[in-house]
Structure 1
Amino acid sequence: MNLNNIHNVYLIGIGGIGMSALARYFYANNKQVAGYDKTPTELTESLIANGIDVHFEDSVQKIDVRFLNKDKTLVIYTPAVPSSHKQLEYFKNKGIKVLKRSQVLGLITEQTFCLAIAGTHGKTTTTSILGHLMYECNVPLTAFLGGISENYNSNLIINGTEVTVVEADEFDRSFLTLSPDMACITSMDADHLDIYGDASELKKSFEDFSKRVKSNGKLFVRNGLPLKGITYGIEDNSDYSVQNIKIKNGTYVFDVKTPKTVLENFQFNLPGRHNLSNALIALAMAVEYGCPYRQLAKALASYRGVKRRFTYHIKTENFVFIDDYAHHPEEINAVYQAVREMYPGKKILAIFQPHLFSRTRDFADDFAKSLSQFDEIMLLDIYPARELPIEGITSEWLLKKITNPNKQLTSKTEILHKIHKSNAQVLLTIGAGDIGEEVKHIKKEFSVAS
C-alpha cells in the first residue's frame, strides 16, 4: 500500500498514546485526519486544539462523507477496539482499507532508516531520549513516542522523514511488522501473558523480532539477555558501558566506554539506574548512527523526560510528589530504587493502581514484594482497561499479600484525605490506568501545603 496516495485518515481509538501520534503525523503531512474515541482526555483535547476532528459517539452518522472514498481513505484501529465496533464494521463493509496501528507503523518506517526500541520496560523513555538526541544533532527524523515528551510537549518529534525512531511494542506481537536498520532490546521480563500464555512464548517473540533487523543492520541487547548483539550495561564489560558514575545536585555525571574509546563527562537529569541504562542505549545507537559526541553530550544534558515517567510535580524541602507510569513489578522496583537513592531516610508513601486483572493475577506475589518495600502503601481498585473482571482478583486480594503492615485500600474520593493523614515526606502515584487524572488534584491540594 502506498501511503502517498492516501488523502484521508480515520483513526478508531484516536485518543490512545500510539494512535494520537499517528494522527499528528498524518496531519503534519497534510492529510485530512479525524477519529473516534470512547471518552475525552487531555490527549483528545490536544488533538482538537490542533485542528483534528474528534468525536466520542460510536455512530456511523458521525463519519464525514469525505472518509468514504475507497481509493483515498485509510482507517486505522487499535487492538483495544472490539470487532463489534459499529464504525469499524461500517468501514469494512464499505470496502475501505482498514489496518492495525502496528501495520501502519510498519508501512511508514519501511521507506526510512528505522531505529526501533523494544523491551518490556524502558521503551518510551529510551525512544524519547534517542529522538531528542538525534533531533538536537539535526538528523532529519520523525520519532513516534509512547508518552508525552517534556521537551516537545508531544508524542511526536518531527525534523524530517528520512529517519524514523519508534517503539517496537511486544503487545499483540505488533513489533513483528517492523524491519529496522537498528534495534535494541532493553528487557524481556514476563508480561502480557494474556496474549502470550507463558514467558517462553514472549521470549520467542523477542527472538523473532531480533531476526527482523535488516541483514546489514545492528542489534543492541542489554548485557545478560539471551540474545547476541552489541551489548550495553552499567559499570561492566559490555561493548557500551557507563563508567565513573557520580551524583551531583541530583544529576548523574558519568563517562561512556564505547568499543573504540571513552567519551567523558555526560550529564543526565533523570534519577534511577534503569534510566541511566536507557540513556546509555540511546547514546550507543546515536553514536553508531554517526552523531557527534559533543552535540550528544549537550543534548543529553538538556533532556527533561516523559510525562508520567518519574515526573516531579512538587519538589520542596518538606514534601516531594512524583508520578510514574510503572505497572509491572520490575518497574515498581526501579521506581523504588530511584526514589530511595534520591531521598535516603525519608518516609515514602506509594499509591498504586493495578492495571489489568490478568496482570494482577499473573504477578500478584511479585507486586506484593515490590510494593512492600515502600514505607506506606495505598491501593486503588484495579483498572480494567480492555478486560472484564476475573473472579477473586481484586485489590483487596492483592493487599492481603503485601507483607508491610502499613497498608490500606483507598478510593479516588478518599485520596486527598488519606494523604493528609499520612506523615510521608515523599508521595508517589504509580500505575498505567486513570490514576494520572488524579495528579492535578493532588498537586493543587498540596502545592500550597508544602
Structure 2
Amino acid sequence: MAPGLPTAMDRPHFIGIGGAGMSGIAKILAQRGAAVAGSDAKESATAEALRALGVTVHIGHAAEHLADDASCVVVSSAIRSDNPELARAAELGIPVVHRSDALAALMEGLRPIAVAGTHGKTTTTSMLAVSLGELGLKPSYAIGGDLDVPGSNALHGAGDIFVAEADESDRSFHKYAPEVAIVLNVELDHHANYASMDEIYESFETFAGKIVPGGTLVISGDHEGARELTRRLAGSVRTVTYGEAEDADVRVSAVVPQGLKSRVTVLLDGQELTFTVSVPGRHYALNAVAALTAGAALGIPAAELAPALAAYTGVKRRLQLKGEAAGVQVIDSYAHHPTEMTADLEAMRAAAGDSRILVVFQPHLFSRTQELGKEMGQALALADASVVLDIYPAREDPIPGVTSELIVEAARAAGADVTAVHDKAEIPGVIAGMAKPGELVLTMGAGDVTDLGPLILDRLSQQ
C-alpha cells in the first residue's frame, strides 16, 4: 500500500465512478496503490481511462458488482438510497463514505488549496494545477472537469500541494481543512439544498471557518456576494481580496483582450506584474488572478507563477473549441447559471467581433429553471439567435409546470430570437440551416448538450 493511502480505502468501491468528482478520487486512490472498483450507469471514455489504471469498472448498477471484501463504498449526493449496491453494502456491513470525506482523507498531510464559489471553480482549480505543474512543484489535484484527455481531471503528484475543487452544492466543502481557500463569488444556486441567501452565506462561513490556523482566505473584492461574506467573517480569518475594486489587496489594473487571450496587469505586494491568460474573457482573467493570489499566499513567488499561468489553455467544456466546418466554429460551454451564461456570451462577443453568435442551450435541473428561468432567458438575449432544448433533469424528478418554455418566454420578452426544439436529434439540421460561414455556434449547458458539437460539425461538413 502506497504511503498516504488511508487504510479504510485500500479496496474502495465507487457507485457512479464515471462522474467528474468520483472518477478523480478513484484515480488518485489507484495511483496511490489502492485496489479500486466501481460501477457507472453507462460506458464512457472516463471508464476506459480508469481501466487503464487497473480499476475494475462495471457498467450498470447491481448488487453482485460489490465485492464482499470491499473496504468501503464511496458515494456522491447523486446516489439514491435505493441503489442495489448501496443496499448490498448495508447487508455486508461495509462502511459508506461520502466522496467529500474520501477527498478530505486524500488531502491529509499535504498543503491543500480548496477552490470554492458559485462559478469558476473548475477553471481556477485547473489554472492552479497546470501552473504549479509548470513550475515543477508536482501538485496533486482533483478537478470537476478534464483538462484535455479523459481522466485528466485528477493526479497524485509527488509534491506537497493538493489543489481541490470544493463543491458547495451539497455543503460537502465543509469537510476540507485547507491552508488556502479561494472564494470566487457567492450567489444563490442549488435551490434544492439552499432556501435563501442567508443559508448560502452560512454555508460559506462554515467553509471559511475550516481554514487551518495561520491559513488564508483569498476572496473576490468585486463580487457583492463575496464582499458580503467578507463583512460577515469580520476578520475571523486572514483574508486577501483580489479584483478590480479600488480597495482590493491584489488589484487588477488592466485586462486587455487579445483575440482569444488577455493581457492582465496586477499590483501584488507593491509589485506590478503583467501576464498572459490564454483563454478569452474578463471572468477567466479574474480567475487567473485568484489563482495567482492563492499561490502567493502559499509562498510561491508571484513573479514565477504569473508567467506559468499562461500554460493553461482551457479545460473541457469551458469555451472549448470543438472544431470548424463550412467556416463555422463550434464551441462548447458548461455555463448553466445565468451569471455563467452572461460571462461566456460576453467573452465570445468580445472575441468574435461582428460575427453572429448562435446558441444551443439546454437548461440543467428543474429546480434551477424554476428559480432562474427568467434570468436564463435574459442572458440568451446576448446571442444573435438561440435554440432551447428541454430541461436536462440530472438527479431531479420533474416539477409540475416547470419546462424550458419558461426560458423561451423570458428570452422573447427580452427581445431575443429564440426557438424551442424538443427533439435533440433535430438540432444538427436546425443549426446547419441557421449558421453561415464566419459565425460561431455555442452548445451551452451542464447536461448532454455537449454531445451535439460533433454532430453539428458533421452536418455542417456535408453542406
For the aligned pair, the TM-score class normalised by the smaller chain equals over 0.9
In the TM superposition, residue 5 of structure 1 has moved relative to its aligned partner by 5.5
AA of the residue aligned to 2:417: N
Residue 291 (1) aligns with residue 294 (2): no
| In structure 1, distance between residues paired with 2:5 and 2:349 | 51
| In structure 1, distance between residues paired with 2:457 and 2:141 | 30
State how 1:202-351 maps to structure 2 within 5 Å.
Answer: 202-223=200-221, 224=224, 225-228=227-230, 229-234=239-244, 236-264=246-274, 266-314=275-323, 318-351=327-360
| In structure 1, distance between residues paired with 2:326 and 2:59 | 43
| In structure 1, distance between residues paired with 2:24 and 2:167 | 14
Distance 1:323 1:99, change over 3 A: same
For the 8 Å contact 1:137–1:291, the answer to whether it is kept is: no
Superimposed CA distance per residue, residues 137-182 of structure 1 (whole angstroms, 9 cap, x where no aligned partner): 2224211000001389600133225221111110110000011110
| In structure 2, distance between residues paired with 1:295 and 1:136 | 10
AA of the residue aligned to 1:431: G
Distance 1:111 1:274, change over 3 A: same
How many positions carry a matched residue from both structures?
Answer: 443
Distance 1:5 1:369, change over 3 A: closer
Per the alignment, residue 440 of structure 2 pairs with 426
| In structure 2, distance between residues paired with 1:275 and 1:245 | 10
Match of residue 456, structure 2, among 423, 442, 449: 442
| In structure 1, distance between residues paired with 2:257 and 2:325 | 19
For the 8 Å contact 1:110–1:178, the answer to whether it is kept is: no
In the TM superposition, residue 387 of structure 1 has moved relative to its aligned partner by 0.7
| In structure 1, distance between residues paired with 2:29 and 2:53 | 12
State how 1:132-211 maps to structure 2 within 5 Å.
Answer: 132-150=130-148, 154-160=152-158, 162-211=160-209
Match of residue 19, structure 2, among 9, 13, 16: 16
Per the alignment, residue 406 of structure 1 pairs with 417
Report the TM-score, using the length of structure 1 for normalisation: 0.93
In the TM superposition, residue 296 of structure 1 has moved relative to its aligned partner by 2.1
Distance 1:127 1:447, change over 3 A: farther
Residue 55 (1) aligns with residue 67 (2): no
| In structure 2, distance between residues paired with 1:158 and 1:5 | 18
Q: Structure 1, unaligned stretches of length 5 or more?
A: 68-72
Q: Structure 2, unaligned stretches of length 5 or more?
A: 231-238
| In structure 2, distance between residues paired with 1:381 and 1:316 | 26
| In structure 1, distance between residues paired with 2:34 and 2:359 | 44
For the 8 Å contact 2:331–2:453, the answer to whether it is kept is: no
| In structure 2, distance between residues paired with 1:405 and 1:286 | 42
Match of residue 405, structure 2, among 387, 393, 396: 396
AA of the residue aligned to 2:79: V
In the TM superposition, residue 426 of structure 1 has moved relative to its aligned partner by 1.1
Distance 1:161 1:297, change over 3 A: closer
Distance 1:325 1:405, change over 3 A: closer
RMSD: 2.1
Q: Secondary structure at the match of 1:171?
A: coil
In the TM superposition, residue 23 of structure 1 has moved relative to its aligned partner by 0.9
| In structure 1, distance between residues paired with 2:43 and 2:151 | 18
For the 8 Å contact 2:131–2:308, the answer to whether it is kept is: yes
Per the alignment, residue 70 of structure 1 pairs with none
Distance 1:165 1:13, change over 3 A: same
Residue 124 (1) aligns with residue 133 (2): no
Distance 1:339 1:134, change over 3 A: same
| In structure 1, distance between residues paired with 2:42 and 2:52 | 16
Match of residue 378, structure 1, among 376, 384, 387: 387
Distance 1:86 1:336, change over 3 A: same
In the TM superposition, residue 428 of structure 1 has moved relative to its aligned partner by 0.5
Per the alignment, residue 236 of structure 2 pairs with none
Residue 352 (1) aligns with residue 361 (2): yes
| In structure 1, distance between residues paired with 2:34 and 2:291 | 31
- Amino-acid identity (%): 34
| In structure 2, distance between residues paired with 1:234 and 1:448 | 46
In the TM superposition, residue 111 of structure 1 has moved relative to its aligned partner by 2.2
| In structure 2, distance between residues paired with 1:305 and 1:258 | 25
| In structure 2, distance between residues paired with 1:243 and 1:316 | 38
Report the TM-score, using the length of structure 2 for normalisation: 0.91
Superimposed CA distance per residue, residues 1-25 of structure 1 (whole angstroms, 9 cap, x where no aligned partner): 9814542111011011000001110
